[in-house]
Amino acid sequence: MHRSEPYPAPPAVKERPWLFAFLIAPTAIIDVGLVNGALAFLLRREGIGPAHSSALIALLTIPHTIYFLWCPVADFWLKRRSWILLSSAAAAGTMIVAFRQSSLASPWAIRLILLSYCLSLLVAASCGGIMGSFVSEVNRRRAGSFYQAGSLAFSAIAVFSLVGLAGHVTLPTLGWILAAFVFLPALAALALPPESRPPAQALPATFVRIAHEFRVTFLRWDAIPYTLLVTLPMCSGAMIGLLPALAVDFGVSGAQVAWINGLAGALLTTLGTLSVSLIPARIRAPIAFLLAGLANAATLAILALGPMRPAIYFTATVLYLFTIGACWALFTGVALEFLGDSGKSGGARYSIINSLGNLPVAYMAYLDGRGYAHWGTRGMPAIDAILSATAASLLLLYFLAHRTPRQVAAS
């Protein structure tokens, strides 16, 4: 992986990558657990129809694509673990106030949920900066695996709890419960080892250093293949939300869909993320990521080419959810190799890379829909599989031919 200027780091044995299963929880609970999970149900209980709630949720998801605009602050003034604690506490407190409004659809409630979401994304930026400071490639890989597994597990717990408790407690009480979910896992930051950070410098020298770190990460010819890795269609996971729509064409019942795409699906995806920790560190993250992308595309080929029977749907869905979990965990490894050393601006650069990684989810959902519109049930998984496999194959050839991670000389 490329390095800007190396700084002394704690021994690898003390990096504790398992902590990231908890550290990412504040972001995951608000992002996936509330905004993209339970909020539509909670709004419907208040008499807000799907058309209005979908518009509100679309508004609330904007921060995840632009959070690199404010997350650079996590690289300044405080240690990154302090930013995790501070932003989690602020996000939790803001959510309590939001749930005390007369309705979750009221303008002030939406503004406060939006603010809480923005604050929670500082946690993700801080996590990226800390993972980028790890010396051990094994621990980087493990951290990415736990990071994704914790995100899936905590968001699933949040959806289950919020939906299950909605009919039994008041809205303000639900806000306090959600706030506890957001803040308590962040206390794991107290167990992080001392962070290696650049020595203090005068302000002009600090900006020179940051400019250098951005240049060696993004403004080099060998940054192009990494940019393609995170923005091309393989491993997007766009079909996760679309698979249930195909179930009826394969003769699968609603109850079966709820099981395979719900609780069992979350378990399969989590197992996929944890399986990445078994991949030897000598296999570079981009190569492992692209191989997982080819495997993921192959599962969609089963849907596109196999008989339209329930067994085919179940087999393809189980394999798809497992492999996409592995893809997501390996994406974090790719992002960290792209990032290199955290240096002074690790949180900001990680936020940019992560935001770029969200692009394929959006455009592949649209293209998959076009596949269905033009070629029917088989067209949706087919277009995803073809585009993903083509992009993954071309990039795999490049990275196999360039086996050594890019190196950048220190300034």
Rg (CA), the chain: 21
Q: How far is CA 116 from CA 69, 80, 95, 151, 190, in A?
A: 16, 18, 6, 17, 22
Q: How far is CA 182 from CA 25, 267, 354, in A?
A: 7, 21, 21
Buried-exposed string 355-368: b where 16+ CB fall within 10 A, e elsewhere: bbbbebbeebbebb
Closest CA to 230 of 361, 136, 405: 361
Closest CA to 37 of 166, 143, 126, 180: 166
State the DSSP code for 33: I
Q: ∠ at Cα 321 (283, 132), nearest 5°?
A: 40
What are the tens digits of pLDDT across the range 132-155?
Answer: 778 777 888 888 888 888 888 888
The confidence score (pLDDT) of residue 383 equals 94
Burial of residue 326 (CB within 10 Å: 0-12, 13-18, 19+) is: buried
What are the tens digits of pLDDT across the range 318-350?
Answer: 999 999 999 988 998 898 888 887 777 777 888
Q: How far is CA 197 from CA 5, 81, 253, 341, in A?
A: 11, 12, 54, 10
**Which residue's entry shows tokens 């009221």?**
106
Q: Enumerate residue ranges in the chain where pLDDT < 70.
A: 1-13, 50, 54, 195-209, 258, 261-262, 403-411
Q: Are 210 and 332 in contact (CB under 8 A)?
A: no
Task: Please name the helix (run of DSSP H) or strand (run of DSSP E) that holds residue 250, with its range, or none.
Answer: none
The confidence score (pLDDT) of residue 167 equals 84
The confidence score (pLDDT) of residue 66 equals 82
Q: How far is CA 391 from CA 28, 96, 275, 369, in A?
A: 29, 44, 24, 19
The confidence score (pLDDT) of residue 202 equals 47
What are the tens digits of pLDDT across the range 86-121?
Answer: 999 999 999 999 999 989 989 999 999 999 999 999
The confidence score (pLDDT) of residue 257 equals 76
**Which residue's entry shows tokens 């939300």?**
241
Q: Where are the alpha helices (DSSP H) in 232-345?
A: 243-246, 254-258, 264-275, 285-305, 310-339
Q: Could you tell me the two tokens for 7?
A: 């700084």
Q: CA-to-CA distance for 333 and 288, rounded, in angstroms?
A: 9
The confidence score (pLDDT) of residue 229 equals 94
What sign for the dihedral angle of Cα 293, 299, 304, 306?
positive
**Domains of the chain with CATH codes:** 15-191 (1.20.1250.20), 203-401 (1.20.1250.20)
Q: Could you tell me the two tokens for 116?
A: 């809480």
Buried-exposed string 231-251: b where 16+ CB fall within 10 A, e elsewhere: bbbbbbbbbbebbbebbeebe
Q: ∠ at Cα 88 (334, 129), nearest 5°?
A: 30
Q: CA-to-CA distance for 313 and 30, rounded, in angstroms?
A: 31
Report the amino acid identity of residue 190.
L
Q: ∠ at Cα 372 (371, 377), nearest 5°?
A: 120
Length in residues, the chain: 411
State the DSSP code for 284: -
What sign for the dihedral angle of Cα 266, 147, 159, 103?
negative
Query: At a CB cut-off of 8 Å and minimum separation 6, what does 400 contact?
Result: 287
The confidence score (pLDDT) of residue 63 equals 86
Report the amino acid identity of residue 238.
A
Cα diameter, the chain: 67
Burial of residue 104 (CB within 10 Å: 0-12, 13-18, 19+) is: buried
Q: CA-to-CA distance for 96 and 171, rounded, in angstroms?
A: 10
